[in-house]
Amino acid sequence: MIQDPFFTIDGKQYEIKEVAAPPTPVDCVWGPWSAWTPTGDWSPCVNGTQSRTEQRTRTIETPASNGGLPCEGPTTETRSVSQACVVIPPDPGGMIVAHGNNFKHDYWLPSDNLDPAKLPTPEQAIPWTAKVNAAGALANHAGGVMRSFRSLPIYGNITPYGYTVPGVFDSLGKRVQNQLVSNFGTDMMNARNALKNWSKSDVTDASPGPFPFRAGPRGHLILSPYNTVYGHSSRFSDGTMSTNPHSPLFLALQADGLMQGLMRDGSCRHLMQLPIPDNSYTNDFAQWEANRIVFFYLDSVNGKVMKVDRTNTPWEVTTFAEGFGLLTSCKVIGQNLYLMERSTGNVWEVVIATGARRVITWMGAGFWLDYYSNGDLLVMAEDSRMIRVTPESGVQTVVNSSSMGNRGWVQCSVDRHGTCGLVDTVYWVTFTGNSNSHVQRILPDGTKLPYIAHGSGNMSAGESKWVAEAHGHYLWTVAVHPDEGLIYFNGAWSGQPGVLGVAHENDPFPAPYPYKDVFQYESGVGVNMLMWGGPQRLLGQVPSFVCQIGAYGASATGITFDYLTSLGYEGLRNWLNSGGAGSVPRNMTNAEVYFPMAYIMANSQQHLVQGRKLIDDLRAFMGVV
């Protein structure tokens, strides 16, 4: 403060006053942009692309003052975004059209219009929950004892031809069959190229359907031709089992390098796209039990073995060995990798630590490898001949001398842990030909069994009479699980993997029913009612139910028999009579609708848990004598 504001100069008096400093200018400040939000719906799908406009806004956070700079620029921004899409042909009511084109029993089934509002959402997919022991196993370890089998609908079983949505699968089976008949090398490349193109199609596309395993919850279609599959061990080092439902039950590698996990809860997960050159495909992969972070896979055409280290994400892929001819199979035994070189018939041994290699044996038309509990190799030729080879000496022992002619594709799996029966039982399948629709066995003593046989019914969730047609037409792969009593199988015309489980004396599956005709695959009224769509079948007045849900309760619509069973007796009856997911009502009597209801429920997890009581209670509810 000024002490004396007054002073005089030359006789004039002056006064000093304090003046405030001018205010500091404050520039305008924008607040943050909001998230982009759509201003309308997606445009119609044109040439595989659709677009929409999105908008974001912002407001002034600090206004300009004291002569500060104003905010410049708009308060609103718009942009156009696009995405890939598939044209869904609408009917006049705007519903999805599923062309009911089913030629089984020479029935022509008319089209049905599926109502999206009647389809289950992904959140309604019922996971696989039926366990048989406290450790969370899906099927008990057989402990080296001969047992029978039951079919477990973990993923669901359907056949693409005739029994599901033909708008997705028109001519799919014929494409597969024509691409892999006898000339393995050429036709396998055709298959690999088909994978590159067809995998881009959506399940609602009427052009070629999706070929790879489709990631998603249980109940959504999981296609699986052209895959090599192995059981994934869930056993810890102390011998206990993992109970994590999200751990893989099986691992699958598709011919174009897509690695998949088939999960314990019935879902499917994409793990990684492994690099495969455009001129090649991968025919097999091998897990290294001594170091489970590492596995190997084949660049088959280029004669290379690739090594995958899963320590980090993404996985590290390097070339492990090269310079071979056409490679069709590989296995790791201890510290050695064994390769089947189909172009020469040589079976190679490669030391993993050093890369040193040697030919240990030769087999003309050799195609597939597996190994026994003592480390001996099993070599299978394209014509189904098999030999057992001691790697150290190369000594051969004939396992199967019967030639079935060139099959184009064969595969074998040795039960070296005794999870499904006698230790070192050989399970094998062949591709092409009528005799290949079975999972066949050779017992340790050399006894040959033509196929897995048990009981006289053929139900998806029941006793397995034989593994054929709807369970695995043109069988492509078979895999015995290392921990549990499970056998995986799948055919090139099968849209869903099949899984057989060991049946013990204390198995909850019920004794044979006195009203068994309901459940027979070919002659049973239940499955026929699903195919016919109701008693109006003779006049061709109604579409087939299997065009909606598949013969075994899994289809592109995501409907499973577990989902339908969860509706309850009255809910399922109403669902079927209303036309299911379609628009054509059926109005069946209790006596008529009972048959498809019984067939659906007998193929559900509830049936595995409750047994015959589930069907007995259904009969009482429906008033069926």
* Rounded CA separation 68/64 (Å): 5
Confirm whether 530 is domain-assigned. yes
Number of domains observed in the structure of the chain: 3
Give the model confidence (pLDDT) of 5-48 as tens digits. Answer: 777 777 777 777 777 778 899 999 999 999 898 888 888 777 76
In this prediction, residue 3 has a pLDDT band, given cuts at 50, 70 and 90, of: low
77 and 110 part of one domain = no
Convert the pLDDT of each residue in 461-482 to its tens digit: 444 433 333 345 567 789 999 9
Q: Which of 359-368, 458-467, 497-506 has the lowest mean pLDDT?
A: 458-467
| pLDDT computed for residue 123 by the predictor | 80
Q: Which of 20-29, 83-92, 221-230, 255-264 has the lowest mean pLDDT?
A: 83-92
Please report the pLDDT score of residue 223 as a whole number.
60
Flag whether 18 is in a domain.
Answer: no
Same-domain check for residues 524 and 566? yes
Asked if 402 and 278 sit in the same domain, the reply is yes
- Residue pLDDT, tens place only, 163-179: 333 333 333 333 443 43
pLDDT at 224: 56
- Residue type at position 344: T
Contact between 412 and 368 under an 8 Å Cβ cutoff? The reply is yes
Quickly state the pLDDT bin for 497 (edges 50, 70, 90). confident
- Residue 288: its pLDDT value, please? 86
Tokens standing for 186? 């050429």
- For the ranges 220-224, 335-339, 483-487, which has the lowest average pLDDT? 220-224
Q: Are residues 41 and 115 in the same domain?
A: no
Average pLDDT of every residue of the chain: 76
Is the pLDDT at 378 greater than 90, yes or no? yes
Based on the domain organization, do 369 and 393 belong to the same domain?
Answer: yes
pLDDT computed for residue 190 by the predictor: 59
The pLDDT tens digits of the residues spanning 560-617 come to 888 899 999 999 999 999 988 887 888 888 988 988 898 888 878 888 778 778 888 9
* The predicted structure's pLDDT at residue 44: 76
> Using alpha carbons only, what angle is made at residue 530 by residues 529 and 533, rounded to the nearest 5 degrees?
75
Q: What is the pLDDT of residue 354?
A: 96
Q: What's the CA gap between 372 and 414, in Å, rounded?
A: 6
pLDDT at residue 1, rounded to an integer: 53
Residue 71 within a domain: yes
Counted residue by residue, the chain has a size of: 625
Is 537 in the same domain as 615? yes
pLDDT of residue 541: 63
488 occurs within a structural domain: no
Q: Rounded to an integer, what distance in angstroms lies between the CA atom of residue 427 and that of residue 411?
A: 9
pTM equals: 0.75
Domain span including residue 338: 274-406
| 470 lies in some domain | no
Distance CA 146, CA 143 (A): 9
Task: Of 62-66, 423-427, 469-473, 489-493, give the range with the top mean pLDDT.
Answer: 423-427
pLDDT exceeds cutoff 90 at 336: yes
Q: Is the pLDDT higher at 296 or at 227?
A: 296
Q: What is the mean pLDDT of residues 368-383?
A: 95
Q: 367 with 278, same domain?
A: yes
Average pLDDT, integer, range 520-547? 64
Q: For a pLDDT cut of 90, what percent of the chain falls above it? A: 31
Instruction: Check residue 89 and give its pLDDT.
Output: 37
Give CA–CA dist 158/223, Å, rounded: 10
Report pLDDT digits (tens) over 82-126: 876 644 333 333 233 333 333 232 333 455 666 777 878 878 888
Question: Which of 357, 383, 406 is the last residue before a domain boundary?
Answer: 406
Reported as a single tens digit per residue, the pLDDT across 292-307 is 889 999 999 999 999 9
pLDDT of residue 161: 35
Query: What's 298's domain CATH number?
Result: 2.120.10.30
Q: Is residue 592 part of a domain?
A: yes
555 shares its domain with 596: yes
State whether 365 and 295 are in the same domain.
Answer: yes
Domain end call among 57, 84, 111: 84
- Is it the case that residue 347 has pLDDT exceeding 80? yes
Mean pLDDT to the nearest integer, 177-201: 50
In a domain, 600, yes or no: yes
Same domain, 602 and 523: yes
Q: Please write the tens of the pLDDT for every residue from 428-463.
A: 988 655 445 567 889 999 998 766 643 333 333 444
Any residues with CB less than 8 A from the CB of 185 and at least 6 apart, and which? 301, 326
The answer to whether position 113 is within a domain reads: yes
Q: Which residue has the higher pLDDT, 345 or 608?
A: 345
Residue at token pair 């599956």: 509
Q: Please give the Cα distance from 190 to 113 (Å, whole number).
A: 34
Highest mean predicted confidence (pLDDT) among 4-18, 507-521, 549-563 = 4-18
Q: Model confidence at 495, in pLDDT bands (50, 70, 90)?
A: low
pLDDT at 50: 81
Which of 379, 406, 433 is the C-terminal boundary of a domain? 406
CA distance 216 to 213: 9
CATH of the domain at 74: 2.20.100.10
In this predicted structure, what is the pLDDT of residue 294? 93
52 and 112 housed in the same domain: no
Whether residue 279 is found in the same domain as residue 398:
yes
Give ∠ CA 418-419-423 in degrees, rounded to 5. Answer: 10
| pLDDT reported for residue 313 | 82
Q: What is the pLDDT of residues 379-427, one digit of tens each?
A: 999 888 999 999 999 999 999 988 776 666 789 999 999 999 999 999 9
pLDDT (0 to 100) of residue 245 = 65
Residue type (1 letter), 260: Q
Q: At residue 270, does pLDDT exceed 80? A: yes
How deeply is 466 buried, as exposed, middle or buried, from its count of CB atoms within 10 A (0-12, 13-18, 19+)?
middle
Higher pLDDT, 112 or 201: 112
Q: Is 586 in contact with 576 (CB distance < 8 Å)?
A: yes
